[in-house]
Structure 1
Amino acid sequence: MIDQLSAPAHQGGASDDQQLPPAPTPAPASAPAAAAHEEGGASDDQQLEDKENQQVKKELQKCVKDRRFLVVVENGDHPSPWIEMKEILDSSGCSPGSAIMVTTKDGGLAKEFSPNRTKTHSFVEFCLERAKRLVSVECHRETGAIYSIQRVLQQCDPDLFCMKLLLGTLHANPYTGKKQLDDLCTSLESPSPGQSQSDPDGSKRRLRVRMKMMKFCYDKLPEMDKSCLLYLSIFAPNSNIRRASLVRRWVAEGHVTQGDGREALDRAEICFEDLLAQGFVDITKTGNLGNVISCKVQNIIYDFITKAVKDENFGDAGLPAKLASHISISSDIQWNQVSDKQKQQQKQGRCNCFSSATLGPQAGAPDQITSFLEWLPVFSRVTARVKVMDLNFCKQLENRHLKIICSNLLKLKYLSMVSTEISVLPRKINMLDELETLDIRQTKVPSSATEGLFLPMLKHLLAGPVGYQVSASPEEELSTVWMPRDIGSMTNMETLRHVQVLEGGDEFKHIENLKHLKNLGVVIYGTQDNVNHLLRVVTLSEHLRRLSVWASKGSIDLKMDLGLSEEGPKLLESISINGITTGLPEWIQKLPHLAEIILRKTSLADNSIRILGQLVQLRCLTLRHDSYTENNLPFIANEFMNIQFLVIEGASNIKRIKFFSGTAPKLEKIVWTFTSMDISQDTITGLSNLPSLKELEVNGEFDPYHVEQAVALHPNCPVFSSN
């Protein structure tokens, strides 16, 4: 149990009942030092230390004078720091409302610090209350079950990591019974042989408890979740793992299959959410809507799953560790065949690309990956089973390597080459009949390369840039590939982003066949007819959730209005519009789930902002280059009632932002990015009218003084950052 003390510091000018309590009697531990001083005087070192301490005290008093502050003394195990701190602050003249908080695991010591103002908080009690809300009614009725949970928590205390694991498991398994909890508690209580002699600081016990808690929680996972968790062993601990890529790889490797009336990818998303909720993975980046973009596996989890991988013979232990994150580790693959071929080639005097001398300390770097690819034809029986090739950021990847892949990995389901030097899609790519994901973003593949692409099982085709560059010129066009002419026959397609549609727009007629389409991004060239074809596709797409429309330069006066009898896609959650300058489409006001809008080169006026303000579900608004024509951007009362995130990037027309009382009550974060600007006290006003504001980020060349002053006056004390 961890106890916490919260006690107000001395408040200048306050009445006696607001003062800090009398200082406790110094501990006897200080007596020897005092006696030494009386007998022989302080040594030179002691005098120097005392002088330095006095200087620190003076500096501290200067810092806190006439200011309100919170001082936190963590893990206090002796009253001496409290005594010294009180003496300093009593004479500092600090402002009313200042406080000192001491955290300690010793309840008696907490009482000594501040007898009348001690607040004790127990992690065990806090987590137990959470657990009571998670478990089933049957668990509550079972005699002693709640007490068993408390016993387990007491064994975990004060390790919050273990407590969170338990809560996550109870959330996923609310019917966990008393016997299982008692067995767990007995396991946690039983000491290891010789523990007391070899573990004076308790570190070995803490590690043992962690490993047993992870084993208990792991055993509770469904088999599919276990497989997905063990798959994470291919990534280095604490490295960023992109969620979208991960769940697609799970599906491609066969760790997740369709069932329960759900598609495989939907079930993979559920597996990810399960692992996240139970504490096996941690979030590293979220999107504007709070969705998880990437995650990581912390060291202790990584150590556990790598051990489990060996114990359960998961994947292929023969695969070089540094290559595992790039190449399929399906359990079907017998990499000992690779070793056999390897030895044969060695006897013939051929280079062994998998030897320790070749791989070296930087094994897995692009040159080793490309060396492996060059050996693929040798391993024909093995490569027939490879399902995944993730070659992102392999700068030494060449067109010839892609030809080798297309000629040999005929069962491939996942192929990603983001940010590589690939400039050709060979005709043989159409031999990959089972390919489900093709990611060629930020490559040199020409626009026409995909015209003849036909992959009957393809579900995700991603092309064009990765993300949005704020520094990009407003005149810069989105360069991407053409829509395949046989797109209508790829009926499994779920993600098609971004592809060009040339004048005539015949491809749109075929997109109507894509009944599973969820994410569509198109670059339109030509006339209003192309837009009309697009809108027809949008209205017929029952599952569409994300839509990005980029009208190319020269496409003038295009409109995105629907006919009177047509309705927009009801499940649409996010829409991005670029280059449509005739106003917002009226049908977006009727979308019940629209949560995000991204605008660029739309030339909107104030009346359009008023329309956006009435969108009930809108949680994120992004205004980019030339999206808004006026200098003043006002947010008035009773508008944007659910918006949480406001982003303004490169919208050079906007000079002033004002938030009126009663607007955006849930707005938590504002990001404003520009090249340079003269910031005055009128540039951004009304921040105090945003009751939920937590963070303000301003990027560009500017004087932050006035913004800092506005932030300082906000009651939430939001975090302010600038670059």
Structure 2
Amino acid sequence: MGGVGKTTLVTSVYYNPTNSDTVDLLRRIIKELYREKRDVTPADINLMDYRRLVETLRTHLQQKRYLIILDDVWRTDVWNYVSTALFDNNSGSRVVITTRNQDVASIAVESRVLRLEPLEEHEAWTLFCRNAFRREKEKQCTPELEYWARKIASKCQGLPLAIVSIGNLLSLKERKELAWRYVHDALVWEQSDIPEVQKVSTILNFSINDLPYYLRSCLLHCSLYPDDYEMEKNTLIRLWVAEGFVEELGESTMEEVALDYLNQLVGRCMLQAKHTDYIAKTDCFKVHHLVRDLIMAKSRNESFCEVYDKEIEGRSSDKVRRLSVTNMKDYWFSTEKPQLRSLHVFSPVPFHLSFSSLRLLRVLNLNHTCIERLPDALIYLFNLRFLSLRYTMVRELPEALGKLWKLEILDTRYSRVDKLPSGITKLENLRHLMVDNFFESNSRYYEDVLGLQVPKGIWNLKRLQTLKTVAAHEGMIQRLDNLTQMRVLGISDVTSIQCMGLSTSISKMKVLRGLVVYTKYKTEMLRLEALSPPPLLRKLSLGGKLEKGVLPCWLGSVTNLSKLRLRQSGLKEDSLFSLSILPNLEYLSLEEAYEGEKLHFHGRWFPKLKILWFRDMAHLSCIEIEKEALTNLRSLILVGCRELKMLPLGIENLSHLQKLGFDSMPNELLQKLRPGGEDRQKVSHIPIVRSWVMREDKWIEESLS
């Protein structure tokens, strides 16, 4: 039943969200399998019927070992149809299904069924106390609250989702008997055909209704996203600001207040955090299935928002204020929607828009749609605050964009836009301008960034907090110091002559958190010695030759730095010492950045480093790691280091290492790691050891663990 921990169990191994529609499910499985191997997906896959999809999938899986997880399957016919394609090829393949439906579990007659039962009473009590009293040092219940605490815990019937949800809610309540008794009395079960599900829903409903109004609006907003959708942290924060859910508080910006709201919802278990291995920070969030069901129902009942899906019959209401369009083959806004404030499209197929009646629209989110140009009527959206064209086919922005004077967020990342119109300089309320232009490099791990051309006057947008990535020109470099509210700055095509002016401008950005600076040419000198680093700087990427191959002297003093990326720096052998003592550095990437043959990591170097990358080190032939160095390293990736033909010496000392990756590395190194190889035992403690090699324009993966 819901909340017992099925999804949590399988996601601890691997997560692959699915759609319950069989044809869409098969199509999605094929795309994921081809993507994982870097194969080219069949061009006509979206036109294939069920029979051709089965044939394609069976052909692809022949002689391969695979693991596929189908999470939260409700119907028996889904497995009946899909199992035809997922045949047993005697290669040790596995399919894992989670379901709340006993019939689904019973149809796989040769399967092993693991029934997750509710927790035993003592286990449930331990989990309850761990959450309800998480602020207490011992995480134990106080005697004066134990009576009501045990009565509340018993109502959860051993269901982990209910226990964690109500426990986190109680952790925020006063430590008074009256407050806890009120919570107990409010948890009155209603009659239901599935009483266990109703009990979880009752607790979750209570948790949602207990939210302050500002958190409630933010949570209900999350019902706009498709099931299992991973919501990016910064996008969520900016959307909440654009929707008007957030107000500035004291000296904190609206974005900082929204981040606090996000953390509160995670703390109350309303949102689930997904940890990435980028710098071991939380970047994405999801909504639990049951929570999503409840907030969708509340959103509809309160006319907060609606989701238009192919599974839902009928058109959306003319009075809808926020609308999400998902999984649609085609959709045309033919009816007037004068109340619409927010429109989100999650359908990648061609999409038709009519803005004639959408004068109140504040948010237009067209990520991943196949739209190729913005309609002229866009200029009539006078109230627009948020416009995202990320991953679209749009090539240019209209000059009239400057008439959208309320616009606060413009995102064209991964689109085909290569320059900005001069009208952009009229958007005095613009806070975030994300215009990175990417192109693929020769590595499967990296994409290189091209800065966009920006018009003169961009420096007059004094409310800008994010500007990335733009191509430098002289007029802009000299006047960047106007942008004192800047939090994230990305600038490319910098010349040596411009570096002094750039250093002066950056030094005045006292609240800067992230900085990217790339030179115009690979051999161009990056002269930033005069820079006085902003005190809050956490992420830094530098691309270009450093004078005498030495890091700027100020770099070792940036104590808040957690991520550092160096490219084409020309570093010498003794350059890493100043970085090794940075107290908070968690991520380090060196890309064509080191000219020496040997790298020696001494004891106590990089005490918090978790992710380490080496890419395209032309001369590097030896890495040595002493016993007490890199003590927290979790991931080590080696890419295109052609002279490195042996494992890093002392790699067996990295007891916390979880992932060792090779990309386009010498066969001499890889051969020693294959079965029977002389170095295989040295990596036996590492759970994931993988190699990627390009063969015939395809990425081939080899597991070495």
- Where do residues 42-57 of structure 1 align in structure 2 (5 Å cutoff)? none
1:229 aligns to what?
A: 219
TM-align CA RMSD: 3.9
> Structure 1: how far apart are the matches of 2:273 and 2:201?
21
**Contact persistence 1:450–1:481 (CA under 8 A):** no
Q: Specify which of 195, 203, 207 is matched with residue 205 of structure 1.
A: 195
2:372 aligns to what?
A: 398
> Structure 1: how far apart are the matches of 2:583 and 2:431?
32
> Structure 1: how far apart are the matches of 2:196 and 2:664?
47
> Structure 1: how far apart are the matches of 2:232 and 2:322?
28
Give the 3-state SS of the residue equivalent to 2:450 in structure 1.
Answer: coil
2:656 aligns to what?
A: 692
Q: CA deviation at 1:287?
A: 5.4
The answer on 1:308 being equivalent to 2:295 is: no
Give the 3-state SS of the residue equivalent to 1:522 in structure 2.
Answer: strand
1:147 aligns to what?
A: 147
Given the superposition, is the C-alpha separation of residues 263 and 627 from structure 1 closer, same or farther in structure 2, using an over 3 Å criterion?
same
Q: CA deviation at 1:321?
A: 5.0
1:427 alignment partner AA: E
> Structure 1: how far apart are the matches of 2:173 and 2:273?
24
1:434 aligns to what?
A: 406
**Contact persistence 1:282–1:298 (CA under 8 A):** yes
The answer to which structure has the higher helix fraction is 1
The answer on 1:388 being equivalent to 2:352 is: no
The answer on 1:490 being equivalent to 2:454 is: no
**Contact persistence 1:135–1:170 (CA under 8 A):** no
Q: CA deviation at 1:610?
A: 2.3
Q: CA deviation at 1:638?
A: 2.2
2:412 alignment partner AA: I
Give the 3-state SS of the residue equivalent to 1:515 in structure 2.
Answer: coil
Given the superposition, is the C-alpha separation of residues 232 and 132 from structure 1 closer, same or farther in structure 2, using an over 3 Å criterion?
closer
The answer on 1:365 being equivalent to 2:347 is: yes
Given the superposition, is the C-alpha separation of residues 467 and 413 from structure 1 closer, same or farther in structure 2, using an over 3 Å criterion?
farther
> Structure 2: how far apart are the matches of 1:555 and 1:534?
19
2:161 aligns to what?
A: 161
Given the superposition, is the C-alpha separation of residues 302 and 717 from structure 1 closer, same or farther in structure 2, using an over 3 Å criterion?
same
> Structure 1: how far apart are the matches of 2:395 and 2:449?
17
> Structure 1: how far apart are the matches of 2:255 and 2:128?
33
1:544 aligns to what?
A: 512
Task: Give per-residue Cα distances to partners, 1:563-622, cap 9 Å, x unaligned.
Answer: xxx732111111101123323211111112111110111121221122221222211101
Q: Specify which of 376, 384, 391 is matched with residue 355 of structure 2.
A: 376
**Contact persistence 2:555–2:578 (CA under 8 A):** no
Give the 3-state SS of the residue equivalent to 1:535 in structure 2.
Answer: helix
**Contact persistence 1:413–1:435 (CA under 8 A):** yes
- Where do residues 263-412 of structure 1 align in structure 2 (5 Å cutoff)? 263-286=253-276, 288-315=278-305, 317=306, 320=308, 333=321, 353=334, 365=347, 369=351, 371=352, 373=353, 375-377=354-356, 379=357, 383-395=358-370, 397-399=371-373, 401-405=374-378, 407-412=379-384
Q: Which moved more, 1:306-315 or 1:175-184?
A: 175-184
Q: CA deviation at 1:557?
A: 3.0
Q: Which runs of 5+ in 1 are unaligned?
A: 3-62, 64-101, 108-119, 199-203, 336-350, 356-362
**Contact persistence 1:544–1:569 (CA under 8 A):** yes
Given the superposition, is the C-alpha separation of residues 303 and 473 from structure 1 closer, same or farther in structure 2, using an over 3 Å criterion?
closer
1:638 aligns to what?
A: 604
**Contact persistence 1:575–1:598 (CA under 8 A):** yes
Task: Give per-residue Cα distances to partners, 1:222-246, cap 9 Å, x unaligned.
Answer: 2111100000111111012222111
> Structure 1: how far apart are the matches of 2:298 and 2:424?
45
Given the superposition, is the C-alpha separation of residues 652 and 182 from structure 1 closer, same or farther in structure 2, using an over 3 Å criterion?
farther
Given the superposition, is the C-alpha separation of residues 635 and 468 from structure 1 closer, same or farther in structure 2, using an over 3 Å criterion?
farther
- Where do residues 465-480 of structure 1 align in structure 2 (5 Å cutoff)? 465=437, 469=441, 471=443, 478-480=449-451
2:209 aligns to what?
A: 219
1:131 aligns to what?
A: 132
**Contact persistence 1:524–1:531 (CA under 8 A):** no
Q: Specify which of 385, 409, 416 is matched with residue 444 of structure 1.
A: 416
Q: CA deviation at 1:128?
A: 1.6
**Contact persistence 2:488–2:514 (CA under 8 A):** yes
Q: CA deviation at 1:655?
A: 4.0
Q: Specify which of 551, 571, 585 is matched with residue 618 of structure 1.
A: 585
2:541 aligns to what?
A: 576
Given the superposition, is the C-alpha separation of residues 304 and 106 from structure 1 closer, same or farther in structure 2, using an over 3 Å criterion?
closer
1:271 alignment partner AA: Y
1:365 alignment partner AA: S
Given the superposition, is the C-alpha separation of residues 181 and 654 from structure 1 closer, same or farther in structure 2, using an over 3 Å criterion?
farther
Given the superposition, is the C-alpha separation of residues 331 and 519 from structure 1 closer, same or farther in structure 2, using an over 3 Å criterion?
farther
**Contact persistence 2:622–2:644 (CA under 8 A):** no
**Contact persistence 1:526–1:555 (CA under 8 A):** no
> Structure 2: how far apart are the matches of 1:238 and 1:539?
42
> Structure 1: how far apart are the matches of 2:183 and 2:445?
60
Give the 3-state SS of the residue equivalent to 2:575 in structure 1.
Answer: helix
Give the 3-state SS of the residue equivalent to 1:423 in structure 2.
Answer: coil
The answer on 1:588 being equivalent to 2:555 is: yes
**Contact persistence 2:403–2:426 (CA under 8 A):** no
**Contact persistence 1:601–1:627 (CA under 8 A):** yes
Matched residue pairs, number?
555
- Where do residues 257-268 of structure 1 align in structure 2 (5 Å cutoff)? 257-268=247-258
**Contact persistence 2:503–2:532 (CA under 8 A):** no
**Contact persistence 2:402–2:423 (CA under 8 A):** no
**Contact persistence 1:439–1:463 (CA under 8 A):** yes
The answer on 1:459 being equivalent to 2:431 is: yes
1:243 aligns to what?
A: 233
2:527 aligns to what?
A: 559
Task: Give per-residue Cα distances to partners, 1:686-723, cap 9 Å, x unaligned.
Answer: 12322332333334465756447767557965443443
> Structure 2: how far apart are the matches of 1:473 and 1:287?
13
Give the 3-state SS of the residue equivalent to 2:266 in structure 1.
Answer: helix
Q: CA deviation at 1:633?
A: 2.7
Given the superposition, is the C-alpha separation of residues 633 and 251 from structure 1 closer, same or farther in structure 2, using an over 3 Å criterion?
same
> Structure 2: how far apart are the matches of 1:187 and 1:224?
22
Task: Give per-residue Cα distances to partners, 1:70-105, cap 9 Å, x unaligned.
Answer: xxxxxxxxxxxxxxxxxxxxxxxxxxxxxxxx9998
The answer on 1:515 being equivalent to 2:484 is: yes
Task: Give per-residue Cα distances to partners, 1:178-228, cap 9 Å, x unaligned.
Answer: 34433444565x6655x7xx6xxxxx2321121111122212322111100
Q: CA deviation at 1:560?
A: 1.3
1:527 aligns to what?
A: 496
> Structure 1: how far apart are the matches of 2:611 and 2:628?
17
Give the 3-state SS of the residue equivalent to 1:482 in structure 2.
Answer: coil
TM-score in terms of structure 2 length: 0.70
Give the 3-state SS of the residue equivalent to 1:376 in structure 2.
Answer: coil
The answer on 1:671 being equivalent to 2:670 is: no
TM-score in terms of structure 1 length: 0.69
> Structure 1: how far apart are the matches of 2:119 and 2:145?
29
**Contact persistence 1:666–1:692 (CA under 8 A):** yes
Q: CA deviation at 1:479?
A: 2.6
Given the superposition, is the C-alpha separation of residues 364 and 176 from structure 1 closer, same or farther in structure 2, using an over 3 Å criterion?
same
**Contact persistence 1:525–1:551 (CA under 8 A):** yes
Given the superposition, is the C-alpha separation of residues 697 and 444 from structure 1 closer, same or farther in structure 2, using an over 3 Å criterion?
same
2:493 alignment partner AA: I
